[in-house]
Structure 1
Amino acid sequence: MYLFQVFGIVAITSAISAEFRSGSCHSRLTVECSCPPQWHLWGNECYRISPSLHTWEDAKSACQGIGGKMATPRSLEEMNFMAELARKVGSNYYAWIACTDMEKEGTWECDGQEGEEPFLEWADEQPDDDSGNQDCAAIASSLGEKLDDGECRISTWAICVRRAACTHGLIQLRH
């Protein structure tokens, strides 16, 4: 697989170089991405809501079972996309994301964002750890589609993500 990716990059680079050497700069590199059925494209990733309700820990396995992993937003735009996707399940939703402070209370870690400050757009007065056992993050419609810290044992939806299938190409532009 790696060899095919390298070959594809070399082929595209060679085609671009040939265009520039010929004096005709009328080409454009294109990227087209697609998702499997029931998955929704955003950027170069595919998202979907878990097919059933799960505790936070079980949601990680459920996302893996459908070919992805539990999602973590990296921006407000991405979080809004996730919220919009969850809203399709129901207007009053609560959906797990891959962030937790199980290891150290108040220190939130998100899968895929190790070593960097995670993007966490908390609702007002959140995280609050009301029950002393709210260690898992979810996007909640009741909190203005912002993040809430919830009890990990609650069964709810989860937001799953996987890489989109993307193809790269070179198209000729006509004047």
Structure 2
Amino acid sequence: MGGQRLVLVTCFCLRCSGLDWYEFGDFCYKPFEEKKTWHQAQDACRKVGAELVSILSLTDLFPFPASSDVWTGLNDLITPGFFMWSDELLVPFTYWAPGEPNNHAGFSEDCVEISTNGTQSWWNDLNCDAHQDWICMICEFS
């Protein structure tokens, strides 16, 4: 597959590690309402053994009733124009807003947020130094 790596993730007997983590499918998610840059949010997730959220199916978009825009793990930091999840999972589908990704106004927009207008959500590329809320994701084994 020409430089791409397929990573299969399977979880059994999932247990989320606290009341502030939410189980959905095979993963636990924790939203943070504290503005950070993409790199700061990624570091915060990794400190608790998690990653910024990866969205692997359309169904995965809907457990997040976001009232604000949030960072995801999607980025093109390694290869411009080639987006991948920070946990190295492949991107099986995309849910870009119309006209995205676009490096708006010539800015380097290498990180991706879930952008919302309150009723609809989509992906938007954004400068990694912007300050956003974020969601961590973890797969726990028992």
Fold in common (TM above 0.5): yes
Larger radius of gyration: 1
Residue from 39, 43, 51 that aligns with 1:69: 51
Query: Which residue of the partner structure matches residue 93 of structure 2?
Result: 119
Matches within 5 A, 1:22-171: 32-35=13-16, 36-50=18-32, 52-81=34-63, 83-84=64-65, 87=66, 91=67, 93-114=68-89, 116-131=90-105, 132-142=107-117, 144-166=120-142
* CA-CA distance at 1:118 after TM superposition: 4.3
Given that residues 41 and 164 in structure 1 are in contact (C-alpha distance below 8 angstroms), is that contact kept between their aligned partners in structure 2? Answer: no
* TM superposition score normalised by structure 1: 0.65
Say which SS state the counterpart of residue 62 (structure 1) adopts: helix
Contact 1:100 1:137 in 2 (8 A): yes
Amino acid at match of 1:34: R
**Percent identity among equivalent residues?**
23
Where is the helix percentage greater, Structure 1 or Structure 2?
A: 1
RMSD of aligned alpha carbons: 2.1
**Which letter maps to 1:47?**
Y
Is the CA contact 1:50–1:62 (under 8 Å) kept in the aligned structure 2? no
Matches of 2:42 and 2:116, distance apart in 1: 21
Gaps of 5+ in 2: 1-11
Runs (5+) with no aligned partner, structure 1: 1-30, 167-175
Q: What displacement does 1:152 show? A: 0.5
